[in-house]
Amino acid sequence: MKKLMIGSIVSLTVGLFAGCGPKNHEGTYVANVKSEYSVAEDTIVLKGNIITNRVGYRRILNGEFKPKEFSLKKWILNAPDAPIIEFGEHQITIGKTVYKQIDQ
């Protein structure tokens, strides 16, 4: 009886730790940002501990859209120069920008 009880406690504990492991946030996240001066499509790709940020944007000057420009940045997650990322359910937040997850 004692062995059965110990076995049950051990298997319950292992099951809890297996189910409560760290959530994998890898995937692609997108945000569309519009202001008086530009329109941008912002994409964040999280793979392992590498963060890749691709932005395509068009400046607006005197009410006229200028040609599309692009930027690319890469960081290592939790590096001093990396942005602070708040992880949510199927979304991330960097600063005030909320990115929705489109794949995993």
pLDDT band at 8 (very low <50, low <70, confident <90, very high): very low
Average pLDDT, integer, range 57-85:
94
CATH architecture assignment, domain 24-103: Roll (3.10)
Among 1-10, 49-58, 84-93, the range scoring the smallest mean pLDDT is 1-10
pLDDT, tens digit (0-9, with 9 covering 90-100), for 19-34: 454 578 899 999 999 9
Mean pLDDT of the chain: 83
pLDDT at position 12: 42
Residue 89: closest CA among 78, 97, 77, 101: 101
- Where are the chain's structural domains? 24-103
At residue 23, the pLDDT reads 73
Spatial separation of the C-alpha atoms in residues 50 and 8, rounded to whole Å: 40
Could you tell me what percent of the chain has a pLDDT over 90?
Answer: 68
Q: What's the CA gap between 30 and 40, in Å, rounded?
A: 11
